[in-house]
């Protein structure tokens, strides 16, 4: 794929893979909080105890966001960083016009 000029690059082209993955998981976390808030609001209108809803809903929301953050960290550590490392090595080899990517030389 030919390189685009800086003026025609899209936002996705300018953002690193790690940042795009982070933003995806941040979107999931925001969706979890929005769904939990909506569910608590609907239950509050039906006459459920607001105090209990706030306590249990808030706890569940924090727990779910914590799980999303943990999965993001594992995803970043075990998939995104190695992929970026491979891409960096491939770009360096292409720039140096190397014939192999052997670490031994």
Strands (E), 10-105: none
Dist CA 55 CA 73 (whole Å): 27
pLDDT one-digit tens code per residue, 31-90: 999 999 999 888 888 887 888 888 998 999 999 999 999 999 999 999 999 999 999 998
> Residues 6 or more apart from 23 whose CB is under 8 A from it?
15
Dist CA 15 CA 77 (whole Å): 18
């Amino acid at each position: 794929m030919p390189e685009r000029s800086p003026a025609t690059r899209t936002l996705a082209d300018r953002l690193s893979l790690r940042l795009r993955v982070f933003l995806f998981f941040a979107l999931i976390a925001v969706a979890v909080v929005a769904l939990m808030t909506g569910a608590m609001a609907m239950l509050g209108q039906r006459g459920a105890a607001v105090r209990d809803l706030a306590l249990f809903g808030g706890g569940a929301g924090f727990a779910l966001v914590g799980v999303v953050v943990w999965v993001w960290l594992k995803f970043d550590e075990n998939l995104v960083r190695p992929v970026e490392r491979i891409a960096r090595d491939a770009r360096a080899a292409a720039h140096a016009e190397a014939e192999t990517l052997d670490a031994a030389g």
